[in-house]
Amino acid sequence: MLHNFSNSDSYRLFCSVLRKMAGETTANKQIIFQGYISGELRESNMAVKESSIQLKVPEGSEAVLVKNLYLSCDPYLRGMMEETTAKIPRFKPGSVIKGYGVSKVVDSGHPDFQAGDLVTGITGWEEYSLRWKAEELRKIESKGIPLSYYTGVLGMTGFTAYLGFHELCTPKKGEYVFVSAASGAVGHIVGQLAKLHGCYVVGSCGSDEKVDLVKKLGFDEAFNYKKNTDFDDTLKRYFPKGIDIYFDNVGGKMLDAVLLNMRRNGRIAACGMISRHDGHGTDGGIHNLHRVVINNIKIQGFMQSNYLYLLPKFMEIFTSYVKEGHMKYIEDVREGLESAPSALVGLFAGKNLGKLAVRVAGE
Amino acid sequence: MLHNFSNSDSYRLFCSVLRKMAGETTANKQIIFQGYISGELRESNMAVKESSIQLKVPEGSEAVLVKNLYLSCDPYLRGMMEETTAKIPRFKPGSVIKGYGVSKVVDSGHPDFQAGDLVTGITGWEEYSLRWKAEELRKIESKGIPLSYYTGVLGMTGFTAYLGFHELCTPKKGEYVFVSAASGAVGHIVGQLAKLHGCYVVGSCGSDEKVDLVKKLGFDEAFNYKKNTDFDDTLKRYFPKGIDIYFDNVGGKMLDAVLLNMRRNGRIAACGMISRHDGHGTDGGIHNLHRVVINNIKIQGFMQSNYLYLLPKFMEIFTSYVKEGHMKYIEDVREGLESAPSALVGLFAGKNLGKLAVRVAGE
């Protein structure tokens, strides 16, 4: 019903009334980045601020004004807050945190977008955002799929799983696949994708509850890494013949143990090393990297933003997986923009189950 | 002249006389592996032994009996002697050390080989070897190129340089290339190959003499890593825009510093981590591996034995490079089988200049 309203004449009238309120501003709650961090991420590194915004794009511009509906909480966001001398993209202290989200167009100066359009792309952690680069937004049609899915299985998260596993590791039927952070946003999708490719797949998780969950999703096996602390020994039990593909979500000690258990011509896709993001995971360093030589191993680090040309192919495949029930999606959606800082902090303590997102508003 | 003799009737007569001496044996000096090691390689880990051998293949077999001329000294040989629980190929204590070499056929039961043929392949560190798997030998024709070159620039060493740089890193004109152990067997070939591809190339070496040498070979720049101990700072000076391709011969701290200086979409070919082979180089571990994610870096470990289908292509390209003078080859050939143990030990102390080989006998 809400969706029908958004395409209705009444909605367009509503937006036009808003646009007529030129000069008038609306309250706009924001999450502000407080300053660079070197250790653990804390809620106090982000602050909720009451601001205001005009619900109209500047006259003559091609900007788009959106109302944010869902925000994606991802490990890489901590990297954007890090104290470092490296030339990597980072947030500016005092600025609104930005991330991937699903939004609805309220006003548009761009010919490709109009009020009522649903879009995904990088947006602000705030109620309303003025997007100057409309060409970076993608229109979506929900077609009966929950909108929150576009922050996850049909968004950057699903794309990351697809890219790393399917495109970069070129899996073959019957290969042995290991996935860390298996119940996480990316991990639980990779595992199901591995089964769709006819692979044997084992996941590691941080609790027995998570182990049960990924087994229900179709993983052949899963283990609780907090109870199986000798990773090398554990991997040898689950992979007596070794590992062909490792989808690495954590880095650190698990990666080091995996390097001891890779088969010849193995492939490792590294999309994020959360044990590093949390500021203490890899202090011991990686000691078994030399093993890549003797076993002809490829380690491919990747960010989905480098492969956007594959996005349409991914969307087609995954939309059909989701619609036809081949891909189950676990999400953990927190309510309200104010919950975003604690949600993000909790991500590094493994408090989420599946994809973590924040619902800012309804359509 | 020697070469002419080897194809002559007199030589074949000589061999047939040898064959007639069935039952009689000839002295055969051998280098015997003494037992697994965990620290530095020492000469005492190998022993010279006087043995004897029949200069005739067993009746009815397809074996080939060869006289060894040149033996290749390579870092991976230490790995074959290592105390480890890992399932990797290793030498058996008490057995003859085996490695890549150039030999001459003395007697053959195999239809593809006959007395007088020059061959390359894995052979024993001894004067004469009986090779049961003749299909693993490759016939060569020296065509005026020194025979020792077939242990190096036209052997496994050149093939490793070609594979790692050309095939696995797919260099583009103008890219920034860094090579460690640049005056070593593989390194000095990679640098010249990079120049032939129109790249900018910098090498690291262990002495000022070696720095001068690689500059003479055409490297744009080179530095002595023993005098420039802040590797990150040094790399930033030589690569203000970062590194596109790193040909890694050493692993360890240099690799860790390189990871901080790679450009987006960079590629690292890892063909041997000598700092690891020497038993103390990577104790500190690799701390910057997470950088592969944000910069979309590929690390490809490789052993040339996995890509033998590319050998004919390589031989064609490199034979012409050598003949036409586009590829200079630096070799350090030690005289006599007895010198092999000290030569191999010296390799890990950087005592060689260019490719290290042992001349066992003339044709």
The CATH number linked to B140 is: 3.90.180.10
Q: Once rounded to an integer, what is the mean pLDDT over residues B266-291?
A: 73
Tell me which chain A residues have a C-beta less than 8 angstroms from the C-beta of B251: 289-290
Own/partner pairs, B326-330, CB within 8 angstroms, 24+ separation: B326/B192, B326/B196, B327/B153, B327/B189, B327/B192, B327/B193, B327/B196, B328/B188, B328/B192, B328/B217, B329/B149, B329/B152, B329/B153, B329/B188, B329/B189, B329/B354, B329/B355, B330/B183, B330/B188, B330/B213, B330/B217, B330/B354, B330/B355
Q: How confident is the model at residue A88 (pLDDT cuts 50, 70, 90)?
A: confident
Partner-chain residue, chosen from A273, A287, A295, that has the shortest CB–CB distance to B285 = A287
Q: Tell me if A302 and B293 make a contact (CB, 8 A cut-off).
A: yes
Angle, vertex CA B141, rays to CA B139 and CA B142, nearest 5? 130
Tell me which chain A residues have a C-beta less than 8 angstroms from the C-beta of B167: none
* A186, A246, A263, A290, best to mutate vs chain B, most B CBs in 10 Å: A290
Residue A257's domain comprises 158-305
State the nearest Cα–Cα gap between A252 and chain B, in angstroms: 9
Q: Report the pLDDT value the prediction gives residue B13, as an integer from 0 to 100.
A: 67
How many domains is chain A built from? 2
Residues A170 and A264 both lie in one domain: yes
Residues A118 and A191 both lie in one domain: no
Q: Report the pLDDT value the prediction gives residue B363, as an integer from 0 to 100.
A: 80
Spatial CA neighbour of A152 closest among A99, A204, A80, A91: A99
Residues A297 and A335 both lie in one domain: no
For residue B96, pLDDT beyond 80: yes
* A255, A289, A294, A299, best to mutate vs chain B, most B CBs in 10 Å: A289
- Computed over every residue of chain A, the mean pLDDT equals 91
Q: Report the pLDDT value the prediction gives residue B19, as an integer from 0 to 100.
A: 56
Report how far residue B157's alpha carbon sits from residue B332's, in angstroms, rounded to the nearest whole number. 14
State the nearest Cα–Cα gap between B16 and chain A, in angstroms: 42
Q: Which residue has the higher pLDDT, B79 or B247?
A: B247
Residue B6 resides in a domain = yes
Q: Once rounded to an integer, what is the mean pLDDT over residues A324-330?
A: 95
Q: Once rounded to an integer, what is the mean pLDDT over residues A277-303?
A: 80
Q: Tell me if B301 and A296 make a contact (CB, 8 A cut-off).
A: yes
Partner-chain residue, chosen from B260, B272, B296, that has the shortest CB–CB distance to A293 = B272
Q: Report the pLDDT value the prediction gives residue A141, as an integer from 0 to 100.
A: 85
Residue B324 resides in a domain = no
Q: Chain A: residue nearest B80 by CA? A: A294
Residues B203 and B238 both lie in one domain: yes
Residues A210 and A299 both lie in one domain: yes
Q: Tell me if B296 and A302 make a contact (CB, 8 A cut-off).
A: yes
pLDDT in tens, A208-227: 999 999 999 999 999 999 99
Residues A131 and A30 both lie in one domain: yes
State the nearest Cα–Cα gap between B26 and chain A, in angstroms: 37
Q: Tell me if B292 and A301 make a contact (CB, 8 A cut-off).
A: yes
Residue B219 resides in a domain = yes
Partner-chain residue, chosen from A285, A290, A301, that has the shortest CB–CB distance to B284 = A285
* A267, A277, A299, A310, best to mutate vs chain B, most B CBs in 10 Å: A299
Report how far residue A349's alpha carbon sits from residue B223's, in angstroms, rounded to the nearest whole number. 45
